[in-house]
Amino acid sequence: MIVMVGASLATSLISSSYQVAPVIVIGFFVNLLLKFWVGVVACQSFNEMRKTGELELLLTMPLQPRQIVQGQIDSIQHIFERPLIWIVTAQVIPVALALFFLPDAAETFVWGIIVTLGVFISLLTDLRAIAWLGLWNGLAYSKMHVALGRTIFMVLVIPWLTFIVPCAGVVLMLGSPFHSLSLANKAESRFRDRFPRIVSDPGAFKNGKPVSAKDRERPSP
């Protein structure tokens, strides 16, 4: 979900004008690239630190585990805060100008603002989910491409797949912000419950999930 795609599409449908179509396409890919960029940085964070031993070193320092995790989240936020502001501003201004100069501006303006706010919230929830889930998957999976692939699939692909659900696809798609919030909260909960043990006792987990004592004692084939 992206800020300008929804607002521009709503504007086009209401005004029966499709002159903003190129802007829609550009906005879609710019925001998609931003989400992929956040995913790569988030997945690489703990993944690289664990491979180099830096994460184990951090755990020996007088820092609370939650401080280590929050430090990475803050770092991701610091990296992308300014690009996000510039991207959103560059997309919202043309939409606002288009709404202002459209005929029947009153009704169009109201719907444009509502849709823009909705998809803006969805953009932020997607980015938050990608940051938290990417951070967790980068820690849980040793292969970077697996961690990134699972993150992108869970956050970005699944909501679009709901379109195939007869009669309910659009409704489910509108609920995608709640899906993203749920993913981010689950990832945050996993850090609270399993970090730093997943680093200090990797045999107790497989792909980020706890391994039972029976399975740990079972000899490898």
Q: What is the pLDDT of residue 18?
A: 45
By three-state DSSP, how is residue 206 classified? Answer: strand
Residue 5 pLDDT > 60 = no
Mean per-residue pLDDT over the chain, rounded: 80
The first and second tokens of residue 8, run together, are 């521009």
72 contacts 135 by C-beta, under 8 angstroms: yes
**Residue 94: other Cβ atoms inside 10 A:** 15
Q: What is the pLDDT of residue 11?
A: 45
Cis ω on the peptide bond leading into residue 202 (within 30° of 0)? no
State pLDDT tens for residues 10-38: 444 444 444 455 666 677 788 889 999 99
State pLDDT tens for residues 39-84: 999 999 999 998 898 998 888 888 898 999 999 999 999 999 999 9
Q: How far apart are CA 176 and CA 103, in angstroms?
A: 32
Residue 114 pLDDT > 90 = no
Which helix (H) or strand (E) segment is 41 a member of?
helix 21-52
Q: What is the mean pLDDT of residues 114-126?
A: 81
Domain limits of the chain?
Answer: 3-217
